[in-house]
Chain A
């Protein structure tokens, strides 16, 4: 769960009980602005007002792979940049959800923390010195916080901004809220399809319902892995000629492993891939094809059998630089059309082997866990954000998949028996029983209200009095930058989550260190007490020694007076 646990914050009380206070609300900082009448004067709403001066906040949307930074009050970020300079040698993301999995840290969490700290410092410094070119000491910062941003990362970002850059204040604002704000809303179900994970956060009246949020690892990274697997087995690489005398170019398949770098995959994904319409063919599972011992190979072949027939996209060739330049021009990578069209099927979870729910299932699971009175509202205000969601056709496909899950299976069984015959009844009964086990039956009634706010191809049909027509009503921001635009708006309005000033941070930090030191000191004295009592240093005490040699008691604890072993509970002070 995300809350202000990263740094002990007195204001977290107001935060963890969201019913008391809207998170989007004028902050205490904006003193004079609160007295303003609601219908602001034109001088205020004009953007010229905040172009100069230091009121502009810096908005940072820190992703594990891409950071977006800019000033509040501007519709575009000033810079978008990769977090990793060489993703093939140091991992494609700056942090992982499980610290032990971080590239290069050998399952050492301490090392992972140090690594993240070093990266956050570099990225934050780059933001201010390279991209924004401004003095960090005068700028308040709004950091967009994903629902499941690891606390360690949040701490390190705060440390980088406060300790290294000395910014005056940071406010960590939930990104789902800001994404909705960019669409002029405060209620909605935000589906953030990012790199490490897809998070689904319901927001109601500007309160993120964090306890009902869910996430799945079906996101950009999983998509990359799938694409790499498919390309390795089914794409064809035509290297440049070996020499001028030998101009023959022989296609290579499978594609050499080192060739498919992270950036190349990104290029193929953004320049060649899209999401095709739903694959209605029933998969012909050909498990007999197990001649290949490699698991990957089997999976890749199975996927090919499955998808090749249903795709209509053209094959595409990409010019790529060979790993070792020969000076004889680029190589070519031929990507089959079905890979371009079907690589993203993974996100919709119709894999054979995979037990994992796809994104549509996760969304419906999330909705079915919501309080009943919120379900209709939230299902008609889905908002899809995140970089991976920019894949052409992903959002319409998501809508189709959701609708498919929400339609009950045909009520009349096609058995061939005459109607109302006993056999027919039995079949009908079986059908009803089966429907009873369908996971989303409680949501069937809401299928007419399903609407995705930023659906690029909204339907014109749907429940008129329901929310079915709400689809596509959001402004046309790109999904990847929705939250950033919302952050920019919030910064311009001087609202956002509670600010933490550097003074507070420093005090809290000093306090925390002090507590740690006093704990250590207390522990030391406790040890010394014991040593004095026992007569030997506790370090030298061997097993059984406490029971012999002048010590009568077996237990180290006395009910009434002084214990033999010091009262260790007193070392850990409450609070």
Chain B
């Protein structure tokens, strides 16, 4: 059960691909994860906003790390926060208890890192600290492995640098980088040819031949350090820590260990994720894994991705947990919830229905509504194929004006596979009252607010699925006297700024997998100030539909994806 909202990313609003296309799911997120740009009048999501890091902090000790230190610390907490190598819990620092002469126990150095979860202690790998603070700094002195790796890396860099700088000083290279047009290309070719002609013939000139063969891996034993002879060659690199140095026996050691392995888990080889970011070959056993410093996290500033807009959507306060700017979609777009599942009691007729049959049933259902029996069901239960379910969709209005909602099902692309269910929306048009202070709603109950009029529930259903009411909905706002009766009839339930409408889902016989579908929600609200047609980002009809008069109305269209549940496998 989930209701996800579509973010059009930077495109013009358009119906997303149906759920049967897995690519569409990336543009749907829960409402609470979405932002809203007022300038562009559009929903923005985490996949499209521009993110800037505002500050770094350690999630364990909550220390705000200055950004200057972050790079050197490799985005990890440089104080005393470590994660357990086995279970990733953050570790506690524990003093060693020693019995003093008087018999009372005294705690003091050495200090150890102990995992509160699995009781792993850093004594197992020989880590003991003299002070309980700044462990990461103390560790740098103990742990020399990192420096070995870094020195190998630096040596490699120096080695390659000679090649890079040589080949870049070669005249042939310069001409190739200077320009890429064909004529220069040819001239470069001729230069190459000339150079090749002037080059020593291998085997004739001894020195050049020797450097060549050496560079290719032959004649390893030749002593003497000489500069690379050719611009295009590289001398052999002597690794500081090569496989050869460890030797044959050690090389096959890990195979033998694996062969003799008796147990897995904490004593066997460590899992992939605990060693996949170590580029230097090391012991694979989990008992030799080291605690890792805890990764920092960021507070980020998010901006609208539109190149012409770039307004701030989220700006955190560096000092506290509040936001300076917070443009979340929750404050702009009605929130929709799915609930109250009912199952229709079937009366015989379980044969495989034909399309005409289904069509007829769909019509029938409407006529006999109210007569059929339904029973409440737990919404978490799996759906049964071949059953008809009734859900309630609750729309909550976050705006200070009442909104008019039109609910339709978007059209499917031609090539889409047929869905495993049918949807019927009994009430396609309805209003949701404005957000007010709690006590203001009580007064509303008495007075007959014309804005709450519910015209069109019947008219729309007559027009059928996916139809757009041709009449201006606003012209009908005045006739709200029928509200009570009709509201009950179509299963519309109104309370404060929430309106609940029904939704029928027929899970087709033989269906499997999740029952998911998209709905198009279009709502109309009173704009604060008159808007110009070109500012209307979302409305296809936009401002043109708004009636002439004092009040200007705007429409906003978005798409939601509802997952009603999974069909139980037969």
* A196 at the binding interface (Cβ < 8 Å): no
- CA separation between A79 and B268, bound complex, in Å? 24
- CA separation between A451 and B158, bound complex, in Å? 25
Chain A residue at smallest Cβ distance from B173: A25
Minimum C-beta distance from A38 to chain B (A): 5
25 contacts between A and B (CB under 8 A): A20-B189, A20-B192, A47-B154, A52-B72, A78-B74, A111-B22, A125-B46, A129-B298, A133-B298, A135-B52, A185-B237, A187-B216, A205-B233, A270-B272, A271-B268, A272-B264, A312-B259, A341-B259, A455-B243, A455-B251, A472-B244, A475-B241, A476-B241, A476-B243, A489-B157
B53 engages A133 (CB within 8 Å): yes
B51 engages A129 (CB within 8 Å): yes
Could you say which of A119, A132, A183, A314 contacts B237, with CB atoms under 8 Å apart?
A183
Known: A47-B150, A473-B242, A475-B242. A267 touches B258 (CB 8 A): no
Binds B, one of A247-255, A413-421, A477-485: A477-485
* A28 at the binding interface (Cβ < 8 Å): yes
Could you say which of B51, B160, B417 contacts A493, with CB atoms under 8 Å apart?
B160
Chain A residue at smallest Cβ distance from B305: A164
Q: Mark B215-230, 1 if CB is under 8 A from A, else 0.
A: 1111110000001000
Binding site for A on B (CB under 8 A): 17, 21-23, 26-27, 46-48, 50-53, 56, 68, 70-72, 74-75, 149-150, 152-154, 156-169, 172-173, 176-177, 180, 185, 188-189, 192, 215-220, 227, 232-234, 236-237, 239-244, 246-252, 254-255, 257-265, 268-273, 276-281, 284, 296, 298, 300, 305, 415, 417
Known: A184-B156, A274-B255, A457-B252. A319 touches B264 (CB 8 A): yes
Known: A134-B53, A381-B217, A469-B220. A76 touches B149 (CB 8 A): yes
* A11 at the binding interface (Cβ < 8 Å): yes
Q: Which residue, A25, A181, A267, A481, has most C-beta atoms of chain B within 10 A?
A: A25
B279 engages A76 (CB within 8 Å): yes
Binding site for B on A (CB under 8 A): 10-11, 13-14, 19-22, 24-28, 34, 36-38, 40, 45, 47, 51-52, 56, 66, 68, 71, 74-80, 90, 104-106, 108, 111, 114-115, 117-119, 121-122, 125, 128-129, 131-135, 164, 166, 181-187, 205-206, 266-267, 270-276, 312-314, 316-319, 337, 340-341, 377, 380-381, 387, 392-393, 396, 451, 454-460, 465-467, 469-478, 480-481, 484-485, 488-490, 492-493, 495
Minimum C-beta distance from A453 to chain B (A): 8
B265 engages A45 (CB within 8 Å): no
B residues in contact with A90, CB < 8 Å: 22
Could you say which of A34, A37, A185 contacts B234, with CB atoms under 8 Å apart?
A185
B residues in contact with A106, CB < 8 Å: 417
A residues in contact with B172, CB < 8 Å: 20-21
- CA separation between A129 and B296, bound complex, in Å? 12
Could you say which of B154, B160, B296 contacts A133, with CB atoms under 8 Å apart?
B296
A76 engages B277 (CB within 8 Å): yes
Minimum C-beta distance from A246 to chain B (A): 26
Minimum C-beta distance from A227 to chain B (A): 14
B279 engages A314 (CB within 8 Å): no
A274 engages B258 (CB within 8 Å): yes
A residues in contact with B157, CB < 8 Å: 45, 489, 492-493
B153 engages A117 (CB within 8 Å): no
B279 engages A24 (CB within 8 Å): no
A77 engages B279 (CB within 8 Å): yes
- CA separation between A40 and B165, bound complex, in Å? 9
- CA separation between A162 and B80, bound complex, in Å? 38
